[in-house]
Structure formats: structure tokens, C-alpha cells
């Protein structure tokens, strides 16, 4: 049997490993450009995020100012509405007073005779009625009141008196256990009081919260 064959290798395993090939200038430049691009992209994204955050903050502040302005405008409109309503009510009251005065001047017995007629209809069985009118209207009112009593079937005793304390166009009807008075001045005072309370409550309701 012949001698075994020898394996011959060109590579010397005992020799140190070969070093990596040095990067070229072009490769270095490409890597630097890539790093710069990544840095630019990251910086641009961060700048966009900051810009969005700043924009959102400014929008939120602007919306807050707009909301405050709207509330102020609404409060102002409420005050204007309350003032206009108060003025309208006052004008209506003044017109009503003027019309009432003109009506009394033209038909001084209109309201009084309507009141007396209503009393006759509801007090047919009353044995005794006293009607008081102003001195100036006594002569004119006496016949009309007596006619009303006959027309409404009142069979009791009717007394018509002139009263110097009763204003022109006013009057009073009295019976045994009651009476009713037509007093325009007292009625106007009560109406003015009620309107004053209503206007005050509307003005108070239109004030901003926390305002005394």
C-alpha cells in the first residue's frame, strides 16, 4: 500500500486575518449625505409637530376670546332687550292712561254704568243698593242708573247719592254686606306698581351673574 497523499493548501491558517478594505471617499460622502438627510427629515418632522402644536394653542386661545366676546354680546343684547321691553311697557301704560282720560272725557259714565249694570244682574234679590257718583255727574247719572235698574229687573230700594270725594267718572256701589268701587287713580297706581315690579325683575334677570 502506497503512502497517503498530502493535502497542500495555499492558505496559511496561522497567518493573521485580512483587514477590511478601507471605505472610499465616495462611500463616506454617501453615508454623510444619508445621515444629513435623516437628520433633516427628523428636524422637519419635529418642526411640523411644534408648528401644529403652536397653531392649535393659538386657535384654542382665539376660540376662548371669541366665546368670551359672544357671552359679552349676549349679555349686552339681554340688557338692551330688557331696556326696550321696559320702555315699551312704559309707553303702553302712558298710551293707556291717555286713552282712558280721553274716554272718560267723552263718556264719563261708560265704565261706571257698565259696573252698575253688572251689579244689578248679580244682585237682583238685594233689598237695598246705594250708588255714589261725583257731584258733577249726579244729574246726568241719576236717570241712566234708574233706567239700568228697571232694565235688569232690580226691585229693591235704590239710592243714588252725589259724593264730593269721588272723582269725575268714578263711583261706588254699596249693599248690606259688601260694595265695589271704581277708582281709576287707585287702579293706575296698582298697575304702575305691578309694572314696576315686572320691569325690575326683568332688569335683574338680564344682569350678568355676580352683578348686585
Rounded-to-integer distance, Cα 30 and Cα 210, Å: 70
Confidence category of residue 172, pLDDT binned at 50, 70, 90 = very high
Residue 159 has pLDDT above 90, yes or no: yes
Task: Please tell me the predicted confidence (pLDDT) of residue 86.
Answer: 67
Confidence category of residue 211, pLDDT binned at 50, 70, 90 = low
Rounded-to-integer distance, Cα 57 and Cα 63, Å: 10
Task: Please tell me the predicted confidence (pLDDT) of residue 100.
Answer: 59
Per cent of the chain over pLDDT 70 is 68
Per-residue H/E/C for the chain:
CCCCCCCCCCCCCCCCCCCCCCCCHHHHHHHHHHHHHHHHHHHHHHHHHHHHHHHHHHHHHHHHHHHHHHHHHHHHHHHHHHHHHHHHHHHHHHHHHHHHHHHHHHCCCHHHHHHHHHHHHHCCCCCEEEEEEEHHHHHHHHHHHHHHHHHCCCCCEEEEEEECCCCCCCEEEEECCEEEEECHHHHHHHHHHHHHHHHHHHHHHHCCCCCC
pLDDT winner (highest mean) among 21-35, 41-55, 165-179, 192-206: 165-179
Residue 145 has pLDDT above 80, yes or no: yes
The full set of domains in the chain, from first to last, is 108-204 (3.30.2320.30)
Task: Please tell me the predicted confidence (pLDDT) of residue 209.
Answer: 57
Task: Please tell me the predicted confidence (pLDDT) of residue 162.
Answer: 94
The mean pLDDT of 55-62, rounded to a whole number, is 79
Amino acid at each position: 500500500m502506497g503512502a497517503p497523499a498530502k493535502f497542500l493548501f495555499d492558505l496559511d491558517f496561522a497567518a493573521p486575518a485580512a483587514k477590511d478594505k478601507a471605505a472610499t471617499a465616495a462611500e463616506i460622502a454617501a453615508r454623510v449625505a444619508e445621515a444629513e438627510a435623516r437628520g433633516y427629515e427628523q428636524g422637519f418632522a419635529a418642526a411640523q409637530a411644534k408648528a401644529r402644536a403652536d397653531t392649535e394653542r393659538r386657535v384654542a386661545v382665539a376660540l376662548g376670546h371669541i366665546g368670551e366676546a359672544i357671552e359679552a354680546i349676549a349679555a349686552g343684547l339681554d340688557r338692551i332687550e330688557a331696556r326696550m321691553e321696559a320702555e315699551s311697557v312704559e309707553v303702553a301704560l302712558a298710551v293707556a292712561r291717555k286713552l282712558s282720560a280721553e274716554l272718560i272725557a267723552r263718556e264719563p259714565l261708560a265704565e261706571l254704568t257698565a259696573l252698575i249694570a253688572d251689579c244689578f244682574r248679580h244682585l237682583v234679590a238685594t233689598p237695598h243698593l246705594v250708588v255714589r257718583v261725583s257731584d258733577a255727574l249726579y244729574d246726568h247719572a241719576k236717570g241712566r242708573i234708574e233706567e239700568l235698574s228697571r232694565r235688569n229687573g232690580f226691585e229693591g230700594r235704590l239710592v243714588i247719592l252725589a259724593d264730593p270725594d269721588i272723582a269725575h267718572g268714578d263711583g261706588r256701589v254699596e249693599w248690606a254686606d259688601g260694595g265695589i268701587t271704581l277708582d281709576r287713580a287707585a287702579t293706575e297706581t296698582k298697575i304702575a306698581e305691578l309694572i314696576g315690579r315686572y320691569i325690575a325683575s326683568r332688569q335683574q334677570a338680564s344682569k350678568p351673574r355676580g352683578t348686585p
